[in-house]
């Protein structure tokens, strides 16, 4: 079995993705309209929205493989998953052992439970997790973090009326059709910035193999997340900044400023990625730039 390599370098990255005639992230507080920065008119996509897509892709691509299970997923009962850590470490002395509450007495045993969860679940050692909800397996701060995504230009959310020929109840069988609405963005190019911490990665056992799977997921996650509401979404560019050291060789915000995205001259209204140009500046000493896409 190949030994997994610990992460020894810091990384930042920029992901550019777009949506065409779809809703990339509906806002429940606004009737599920696309999320919007009210002051600038730019579109927003939350960090947890993209983390969900990464989780789904990893489960699809690596499902069934040891250490690549997903903790936060649909219909998961988290305390039941936490109990598995106790069942697989039967020598741990419990402080409390009730039907809905379990906790290790010793600090070293608490760390054992946390490490067991990190080793089993990809998303815990990647994004972190709070596992103190009754059945206490500790709390993990994830080495990988995403920012909110923001569109390069203001977006123009629209509501489109749709019709349905079928009806739900027999009493409505005489109706010709029912009406509905869906919200879309005609086109939007979004930018997400992310961070990978080597010191935190070593705390959760997030390895170079895990990092490579993250890059693959970011590039491919939209191809396995199709739905009528999301329209056509695609990852267009993934730009990675790799530092020479674990603590880093340049401030993250300075590296992000090297990636400039703007509409091409003469383009007043962008309707595709080809309407934009991406310019990447020169990296400072100790940092290399790798375009994954």
In a domain, 230, yes or no: yes
In a domain, 6, yes or no: no
In a domain, 116, yes or no: yes
pLDDT confidence of residue 180 = 75
In a domain, 162, yes or no: yes
Q: How many domains does the chain have?
A: 1
Q: How far apart are CA 270 and CA 209, in angstroms?
A: 37
> What is the per-residue pLDDT across 137-175, written as a single tens digit (0 to 9) for each?
999 999 999 999 999 999 998 888 888 777 777 776 677
Higher pLDDT, 141 or 229: 141
What is the domain range of residue 49? Answer: 11-291
In a domain, 5, yes or no: no
Kind of pairing, strands 232-243 and 287-291?
A: antiparallel
pLDDT confidence of residue 1 = 43
Residue 80 has pLDDT above 80, yes or no: yes
pLDDT class of 2 with cuts at 50, 70, 90? low
Burial class (CB in 10 A: 0-12, 13-18, 19+), 223: exposed
Q: What is the mean pLDDT of residues 207-236?
A: 94
In a domain, 50, yes or no: yes
pTM: 0.91
> What is the per-residue pLDDT across 234-262, written as a single tens digit (0 to 9) for each?
999 999 999 999 999 999 999 999 999 99
pLDDT confidence of residue 172 = 67
Higher pLDDT, 240 or 229: 240
pLDDT class of 30 with cuts at 50, 70, 90? confident
Residue 71 has pLDDT above 90, yes or no: yes
pLDDT confidence of residue 173 = 66
For residue 107, how many C-alpha atoms fall within 13 Å in the half-sphere facing its CB? 0
Q: How far apart are CA 135 and CA 130, in angstroms?
A: 11
In a domain, 223, yes or no: yes
In a domain, 178, yes or no: yes
């Amino acid at each position: 079995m190949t030994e997994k390599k610990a992460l020894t370098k810091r990384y930042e990255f920029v992901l550019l993705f777009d949506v065409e005639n779809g809703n990339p992230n509906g806002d429940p507080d606004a009737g599920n309209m696309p999320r919007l920065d009210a002051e600038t008119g730019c579109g927003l996509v939350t960090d947890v929205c993209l983390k969900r897509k990464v989780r789904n892709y990893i489960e699809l691509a690596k499902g069934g493989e040891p250490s690549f299970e997903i903790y936060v997923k649909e219909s998961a009962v988290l305390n039941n998953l936490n109990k598995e850590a106790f069942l697989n470490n039967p020598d741990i002395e419990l402080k409390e052992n009730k039907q809905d509450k379990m906790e290790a007495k010793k600090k070293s045993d608490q760390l054992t439970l946390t490490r067991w969860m990190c080793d089993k679940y990809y998303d815990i050692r990647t994004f972190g997790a709070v596992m103190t909800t009754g059945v206490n397996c500790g709390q993990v701060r994830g080495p990988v973090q995403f920012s909110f995504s923001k569109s390069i230009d203001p977006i123009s959310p629209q509501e489109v009326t749709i019709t349905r020929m079928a009806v739900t109840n027999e009493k409505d069988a005489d109706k010709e059709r029912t009406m509905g609405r869906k919200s879309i963005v005609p086109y939007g190019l979004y930018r997400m910035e992310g961070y990978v911490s080597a010191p935190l990665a070593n705390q959760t056992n997030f390895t170079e193999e895990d990092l490579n799977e993250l890059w693959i997921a970011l590039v491919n996650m939209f191809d396995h997340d199709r739905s009528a509401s999301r329209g056509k979404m695609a990852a267009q560019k993934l730009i990675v900044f790799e530092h020479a050291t674990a603590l880093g060789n340049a401030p993250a915000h300075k590296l992000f400023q090297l990636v400039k995205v703007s509409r091409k001259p003469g383009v007043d209204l962008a309707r595709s990625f080809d309407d934009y140009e991406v310019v990447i500046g020169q990296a400072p000493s100790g940092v290399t730039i790798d375009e994954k896409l």
